[in-house]
Amino acid sequence: NSIVWMLKFYAPWCGYCKKLEPIWHEVGAELKSSGSPVRVGKMDATAYSGMASEFGVRGYPTIKLLKGDLAYNYKGPRTKDDIVEFANRVAGPAVRALPSKQMFEHMMKRHDVLFVYVGGDSPLKEKYNDAASELIVYTYFFSASEEALPESVSLPELPAVVVFKDGGYFTYDEYEDSSLSLWVNKERFQGYLQIDGFTLYELGETGGVCSFSIYNVFIPEFHFPLHIVFTLVRVYNRILSKRDFQFGHMDGNDYINSLIMGEVTVPSVIILNTSNEQYFLPSEPIESMEQLVQFISSVLNGSAQAYGGDGIIQRIKRVAFDARSTIMSVFRSSPLLGCFLFGLPLGVISLMCYGICTAESDDGSDDIDAPKREGLTDEEEEEEEEERQRAAALEGPEEEDEDVGEKDPEEKKTD
């Protein structure tokens, strides 16, 4: 049980699993060469469905690190460096000690966000250890004495939990910030960061956990200098008591266009509410810091128009948009394959419809006469029958005369 395993649950038919396979071999070689206690393996979840179900595997590939009685899910980017860093972080102690100022400064240089518990044994330390065991999959946790902290750090009371990021530090307040785990889950992001699909997913999960809305200000290729944006972040972090805004930027607008199912010009600013999938766009292009501040303030006070959402209509639009995007991507990547996949079924259906529409029925005349007879009274039917008999009587003699008129050659000789 002291052995730490990191397993990849896969399915033989899964394309993403096949794409991860060479990276997984590199991860195993890297951990083995570095002397890590983590052993790397893989399991066919389709062949061992019972084991996969026991570990809660619902998709492929799924990466889990098994440490004692705990199983940690990996949800980060599927790159060698990220997976190796995850394995080394989770395999070690949940809380690492910083015994000196030199070690503290070294860790500050290595990590953009640093959580530190300062003080002795206390109920707060127990909560901190529990939060570290739960959230070690996302970030590191440290402990230090007050003497190991930089001289510029001044804490009002001890024990305390402090997060160092964005050139400053913030202290956890048990009365204002409620749960320590929720506070850590919110503060583990920098104030301004590069946004991609995975980061947006994580921010969305954070918004679902917290009781308040988390807004993410995306600035695709924003032309303002970064130090001005950082200043704006620090100002808003001080104004907003809970620091509900998360700032970041995206390179290009392809991902954000698919997210809002529309077109965003570059450069531009968009504010996304990850709790209900609403987004806000400025009414006019933002060209100054004052306009940016006014735009954010309008979102805060509710005067800005909201788009999107998670209603039924939006979900239907999302399904249609995803289907259209999938079809378009298939035709762009391989036009012949797209014509075969979508043209063949349409051709078969067209032939079936044509055959059904042009088919002739044997009893078609009966079907045509039937409606005519329907609706006639008994007297009308009798009159119609009498007319038929009269017509037959008149036709009979004529046929006989014709028969008489046409004699056989032998009869003609006799006459």
Q: Which residues contact 384 (CB under 8 A, 6 or more apart)?
A: 376
Proportion of the chain above pLDDT 90, given as a percent: 21
CA distance 317 to 309: 11
d(CA 315, CA 62): 27
- Domain 192-310 belongs to what topology? Glutaredoxin (3.40.30)
User: Does residue 234 have a pLDDT over 70?
Assistant: no
Alpha carbon distance 229, 168 (integer Å): 16
pLDDT surpassing 50 at residue 377: yes
Q: Which member of 14, 210, 339, 357 is catalytic?
A: 14
At 237, list the tokens. 């972090």
pLDDT of residue 295: 81
Alpha helices by DSSP H, listed for 193-239, are 197-209, 226-239
CATH code reported for the domain at 94-188 = 3.40.30.10
**AA letter at 158:** L
Lowest mean pLDDT segment, chosen from 27-36, 249-258, 273-282: 249-258
Within 222-286, strands assigned E span 245-249, 270-273, 278-280
Average pLDDT estimate for 77-83:
90
Query: May I ask the CATH class of domain 1-92?
Result: alpha beta
Does the annotation count 339 as an active-site position?
no
Q: Distance between CA 312 and CA 145 in Å, rounded?
A: 53
Stronger pLDDT, 108 or 207, i.e. the higher one? 108
| Marked catalytic residue, from 17, 210, 339, 357 | 17
The CA distance from 315 to 284, in Å, is 28
Q: What is the pLDDT of residues 265-323, one digit of tens each?
A: 767 778 887 777 788 888 887 777 777 778 878 887 888 888 887 778 877 877 787 77
For tokens 């989770």, name the residue. Answer: 90
pLDDT at 124: 93
Domain ranges of the chain: 1-92, 94-188, 192-310, 315-353
pTM surpassing 0.75?
A: no
* Distances in whole angstroms, Cα of residue 223 to Cα of each of 96, 128, 219, 257, 409: 40, 40, 9, 19, 115
Q: What is the mean pLDDT of residues 200-223?
A: 50
Q: Which residues contact 34 (CB under 8 A, 6 or more apart)?
A: none
* Least confidently predicted of 82-91, 142-151, 176-185, 286-295: 286-295
Same fold across 1-92 and 192-310: yes
Examine the residue annotation and report whether 17 is marked as an active-site residue of this protein: yes
